[in-house]
A and B are shown apart, each in its own frame.
Chain A
Amino acid sequence: MLRLEDYSVKINKKTIIKEFSYEFSSNEVYAILGKNGSGKTTFLKSLLGLPEIETTGKLFFKNQDITNTSFIERSEMGFVLIFQEYPKFDIKVSDLFKIKEEYVKILNIENLINKKLFKEMSTGEKKRVDLAIALSLCPRVLLIDEIDSGVDSESRSLIIKAINRFIQTTDEYLIIMVSHNEDFLSNFKIKSYLKIENGIIYERTSR
């Protein structure tokens, strides 16, 4: 579904990922591991096509070369990134987004969608609201960046339930998930664990 050929990532002229070639299959979940600062977030942002991140090599989505597509075009193709930071806006969640009822219920956000976007919300609440917004968009490539960090156990279990619901009910998807917590990752059927170390991404053979 997503193929990388000699894919390198640079930010501010510093190489983060060196010549990575890999094929991510559809309807699978992949985990990205690595120490803080190893480049996990930058790698996800590069797949989304954020302009400040420079890439070389090739990127194919469903066998179509999307190397030179913009961030806006990739967003329109269904690339959705769950960011680690949540910007605040002066608009109510429900006034801006149409969230699917099933995710409102699973993530227990009935009371939160009437609040202003990411204002007066705890970390767990922000992550639940944003996940509901993201899943309601029916993403094709869902990039999840440390959604489990800083959340309580109740929010974590709701997040796991919602992602698994998305997996069960979506015809075609790819999930690439960054996390430090292997217990959290064990709640999903992970196709492969990829580790970033010194700019090299390699497939870990065992957990």
Chain B
Amino acid sequence: MNELVVNNNDVTYQGNINIEKIEKKGFDNSFRLTIKGEQELRLGFNISNQINQKIFIELFLTKNSKLTIKTGCCGCALKSSHDATFKITMCDGSSLEWDKSYNWRFIDIKDTVYYKIFNNTNINVKFSGLVENCKIKEDFKLIVHGQNNNIKLFSKQILKNSKSKIIERFKIKGNNNEIDSKAKVGLESSKSYIFMFSKATGQYNIVSSVCEEVFLTEDSVAKSLPLIYSSHGSNRIDHEAKIGEIEKEKLYYLINRGVSLDRAKMLII
């Protein structure tokens, strides 16, 4: 198991993935990881002190490589910030499984992920987190240069007294690609904004995006804005927006069976 842990601004790494420290303007710690063969990577981010954590990680997945990432983020530190930027290059035939869970309180968070995708890749990314008294921005930019890629992105946030922005931008230049993206936000005295932009200039691409905002309290505000552009009639681009309330029967059931309120919300939304 490869492990990269950022504890406040102290970085430790162990494992056999080729890692090199690089210079990136504006970031305290910047690394490039080159993935060959089949690898698992555990990434941990922790903030407990009053600091601004800025990290840049470049992942280069070589031809036919496979990477599984488990990311755990946590922190509770007033007037602190966490800014993580990932630049991911997916060479032909590579595959990425990424499961990220986070639990932030009293921190400003900015997560940016840029994907550069070539041919025959598989991507399955799940981000889910509990956020309390935070300002959070998740920015995903995905450029598909090649063909026959299968991409699934899922982002789930439970917000409490927080503000959230989710920005997703897909540019598909190649043909026969499939992108399935879902963003779900549960709002408790919070504000959320979701922007989804899908642009296909290739042919025979399928893009499906769904954003769902669930009100846990009435004093929440949700906005979503989809933008769709296709230069060819063979592309199929769908967007679905849902706004609703949490299913109370599910919530009652889980809580009465000993599940914590936060976990119950995560399971339902």
Task: List residues of A whose CB falls within 8 A of some B CB.
Answer: 48, 50, 52, 71-72, 75, 79-81, 83, 85-87, 89, 91, 96-97, 133-134, 137
Least CB distance from B75 to A in Å reads 26
Cβ contacts under 8 Å, B258 to chain A: 75, 97, 137
**Least CB distance, B153 to chain A, in whole angstroms:** 18
B255 on the interface (CB 8 Å rule)?
yes
Cβ of B229: which chain A residues have Cβ within 8 Å of it?
Answer: none
Return the contact of A97 from the options B247, B252, B257, B261 (Cβ within 8 A): B257
User: B247, A71: Cβ atoms under 8 Å?
Assistant: no
Q: Which residues of A contact B253 (CB under 8 A)?
A: 83, 86-87
| B259 adjacent to chain A (CB < 8 Å) | yes
* B-chain residues with CB within 8 Å of residue A91 when the two chains form the complex: 267
Known interface pairs A87-B247, A89-B267, A91-B267; A71-B257 also in contact (CB < 8 Å): no
The 8 closest A-B pairs by CB, nearest first: A87-B250, A75-B256, A87-B253, A87-B249, A137-B258, A75-B255, A133-B257, A72-B255
Cβ-defined partner of A71 (8 Å) among B250, B255, B259: B255
B residues whose Cβ falls under 8 Å from a Cβ of A = 247-250, 252-259, 261, 267-268
User: Given the complex, which residues of A lie within 8 Å of B267, measured CB to CB?
Assistant: 89, 91, 96
Known interface pairs A72-B261, A89-B267; A80-B250 also in contact (CB < 8 Å): no
A41 to B252 Cα, complex, angstroms: 15
Please pick, from A80, A86, A96, the residue contacting B259 in the complex, using a CB distance under 8 A.
A96
Q: Which residue of B lies closest to A83 (CB)?
A: B253
Closest to A88 in B: B250
Q: How far is the CB of A42 from chain B (nearest CB, A)?
A: 14
Known: A87-B249, A87-B250, A89-B250. A134 touches B255 (CB 8 A): no
Q: Give the docked Cα–Cα distance between A89 and B252 (Å).
A: 13
Bound CA–CA A33/B267 (angstroms): 35
A81:B249 contact, CB within 8 angstroms: no
In the complex, A48→B256 CA distance in Å? 9
Contacts beyond the supplied A80-B257, A87-B247, A89-B250: 8 A-B pairs with Cβ under 8 Å: A50-B252, A72-B255, A75-B256, A80-B256, A89-B254, A96-B267, A97-B257, A134-B257
Please measure, in the bound complex, the distance between the C-alpha atom of A48 and the C-alpha atom of B257, giving whole angstroms. 12
User: What is the CA–CA distance of A91 and B258 in the complex, to the nearest angstrom?
Assistant: 15
What's the least CB distance linking B227 to chain A, in Å?
A: 30
Q: In the complex, what residues of A have CB within 8 A of residue B257's CB?
A: 80, 97, 133-134, 137
A117 and B233 CA atoms in complex are apart in Å by: 42
Q: Which residues of B contact A81 (CB under 8 A)?
A: 256
Question: CA–CA, A72 to B255, complex, Å?
Answer: 7
Among B253, B256, B261, max chain A CB count under 10 A is at: B256
Q: Please give me the residue from chain A that is nearest to B249 by CB atom.
A: A87
CA A72 to CA B256, docked complex, whole Å: 7
Contacts of B259 in A (CB 8 A): 96
* 21 A-B pairs in the complex with CB atoms less than 8 angstroms apart: A52-B248, A71-B255, A71-B256, A72-B255, A75-B256, A75-B258, A79-B256, A80-B256, A80-B257, A83-B249, A83-B253, A86-B253, A87-B247, A87-B249, A87-B250, A89-B250, A96-B259, A96-B267, A133-B257, A137-B257, A137-B258
Give the chain B neighbours of A96 by CB distance below 8 A. Answer: 259, 267
- Chain B residues, CB < 8 A from A52: 248
Residues of A within 8 A of B249 (CB): 83, 85, 87
Residues of B within 8 A of A79 (CB): 256
Q: How far is the CA of A39 from the CA of B61 in the complex (A)?
A: 62
Residues of A within 8 A of B250 (CB): 87, 89
- Nearest CB in chain A: distance from B60 CB, A: 33
- How many Å lie between the Cα of A86 and that of B258 in the bound state? 16
Determine the chain A residues whose CB is within 8 A of the CB of B252 once the complex forms: 50, 71, 83
A48 to B253, CA, bound (A): 11
Q: Which chain B residue shows the least CB distance to A81?
A: B256
Distance (whole angstroms) from the CB of B247 to the closest CB of chain A? 7
Contacts of B256 in A (CB 8 A): 48, 71, 75, 79-81
